[in-house]
Structure 1
């Protein structure tokens, strides 16, 4: 007889303990259903993102997004009944043979389903609060994801980091600001990969279309690596929008892939800061002059406006810029509506 396992939870966030349970079930069952509850009272990470973590890591499992599931948790008959009724509705008559959990509700849920109560990561002497194989809880992770990042898959951890990017024409202080903020928040920052690449590959201060595409691709790869090392924030110097703009400046066009990477910038970053041109121009040999800086700045602003990418303007000396970014970060909440963070009825 084919076996079908069921497990459910918030997975807020998905951690190694959850994965231990899921992988145990996948190894033992012919089929596995994972029900992911919406839980805005617990985490701001949207249900769709939490469900997609599981889909990406475990494509053989069937994932159900429980958008209207019960929000109360407890050991009362009423709460138990509410959860049991909801699970039956979601299964739509589908037969489950084993219920997997690491929690107290395994007993009543398995009885209601007529399934085997499969407790994972317990010992015969333990209570539901003890974790033996993977000593971690989602509550601990939420309190300090960086401290417990060894219990998180990189794709999960990256989604918990606030990704901040600094844009602007050459010599507008992006690098200095990103590096200073990384020190302030004890995290890492992402240098402009294009500068490193240009110094190695430029010929007569020019790069080919394919080389400009390589810059954008390489920059994204390094961003992904830095996100896995970041502590709450990653501060990034420049992105594919800048590379795309350089491609238009030098060649009048861009490769289709570079254009696509530039388009993705609209949703890749949590916060975008535009560094203004109100600081002295650093006229080094690799730059094309203050006049070009002014034009390039206008083009970047136009690009952001046309793409409908919200951005904050930073100006003044370094301390003024740091202070402004700090104030924005203090009001920003990841996975919340940006306008809710900054606009009130009195603004």
Structure 2
């Protein structure tokens, strides 16, 4: 069986990644890989540690590997292990070597970088409403460092979804059949 085309939905906090992932999965009649860290962090009873970041790293990879065979040509991923690097660098000023080693080994065919033009939505797992611009720049830097193929998705409501679908459709057309 041919590996699915992997579309990563990434970006700073509160940019609609999970909502966009679910929308794209429904639109393309496929499945999406949820963000493993969300469920993990909901179970924490204390502050997140560097070991927790490593655990989330392995959990995200395992979840993606488990769900990929169920994809219908496209696998939509709500975030990637790049998030582990970004948070590890921010919280601990260090990224574990195993994360750094694996980043180039787990590329995605297309990254949809969701812009910070949506209003902030409070959530107990979100921390930095005043650092959205900073994290948007970090995402650009990380994707550029990986020489990733990415498109910034802006707009609100249906326009945002339409921009994402257009980016995916254009990518599929340039790639040929999936």
Of residues 211, 230, 236 in structure 1, which corresponds to 2:71? 230
- CA offset at residue 240 of structure 1? 0.7
Once residues 223 and 334 of structure 1 are traced to their aligned partners in structure 2, the CA distance between those partners, rounded to angstroms, is 25
Bigger relative CO (Cα 8 Å, ≥ 6 apart): 2
State whether structure 2 residue 163 is matched by structure 1 residue 320.
Answer: no
| Matched-pair contact (CA < 8 Å) for 2:9–2:112 | yes
User: Which residue of the partner structure matches residue 5 of structure 2?
Assistant: 162
Once residues 19 and 148 of structure 2 are traced to their aligned partners in structure 1, the CA distance between those partners, rounded to angstroms, is 23
User: Which residue of the partner structure matches residue 220 of structure 1?
Assistant: 61
Equivalent positions of 1:139-288 (< 5 A) are 156-157=1-2, 159=3, 161-203=4-46, 206-265=47-106, 268-288=107-127
TM-score (norm 2): 0.90
- Kindly name which structure, 1 or 2, has the bigger radius of gyration based on alpha carbons: 1
SS at the partner of 2:135?
helix
Q: Give 5+ residue unaligned stretches, structure 2.
A: none
Q: Give 5+ residue unaligned stretches, structure 1.
A: 1-155, 338-347
| Matched-pair contact (CA < 8 Å) for 1:177–1:318 | no
Q: How many residues align?
A: 176
TM-score (norm 1): 0.48
RMSD of the alignment, in Å?
1.9
- CA offset at residue 334 of structure 1? 8.3
State whether structure 2 residue 138 is matched by structure 1 residue 296.
Answer: no
Distance verdict in 2 for CA 1:334–1:194, change over 3 Å: farther
Distance verdict in 2 for CA 1:220–1:229, change over 3 Å: same
- CA offset at residue 259 of structure 1? 1.5
SS at the partner of 1:332?
helix
Equivalent positions of 1:5-44 (< 5 A) are none
Worse-superposed segment, 316-325 or 179-188? 316-325
Once residues 172 and 127 of structure 2 are traced to their aligned partners in structure 1, the CA distance between those partners, rounded to angstroms, is 39
